[in-house]
Amino acid sequence: MATGEEDETERVRRPSGKKTAKKTVKKTAGSASSVPAGHRESESDSEEPRTGRRVSAPRAMRYAADQLKELLGRAPESVSAVQPTEDGWQADVEVLELERVPGTTSVMATYRVVLDKEGELVAYERTRRYTRGQIDRR
């Protein structure tokens, strides 16, 4: 055996904490999994990979917020709408774009996020910008 292979075997066999076990799971789960980036660790090890079945609405909301955060580099404040489409899900996500004092003058944005049936982000667009204190006229 090569030296690198021996080290890998030792790492798997020796008693270790959960941290090392997670690294091993990540290596084996890797790219074969269809779970969106950032979601592998939060799901249990016993859960099977998705098989093209539509994800639930709450999971679609989480995926939309998480993936948009990854793209924009800003944490979403809330998901204000989620609805099923023929091809998956569509969600409206509220994001703080520019923080100001007082907070009611901060600039917010609504992003429309399109997900496929498995929760992967397909497209997004900013549909609205507004101040936090603004109320819709309807």
Comparing 12-26, 67-81, 104-118, which segment has the lowest mean pLDDT?
A: 12-26
Residue 103 or 16, more confident? 103
Predicted pLDDT at 85: 95
In the prediction, which pLDDT does 107 show?
96
Distance set, CA 82 to CA 56, 59, 79, 92, 128 (Å): 11, 11, 7, 6, 16
DSSP string, 2-57: -HHHHHHHHHHHS---HHHHHHHHHHHHGGG--SPTT-TTTS-TTSPPP-SPPPPH
Phi, psi dihedral angles at 54 (to 5 degrees): -65, 135
Average pLDDT, the chain: 74
- Structure-block tokens of residue 66: 């998480």
CB-count exposure of residue 97 (10 Å: 0-12, 13-18, 19+):
middle
Which pTM was predicted?
A: 0.62
Question: Dihedral sign, CA of 27, 32, 38, 42?
Answer: negative
Rounded Cα gap, residues 134 and 65, in angstroms: 22
The yes-or-no verdict on residue 48 having pLDDT over 80 is no
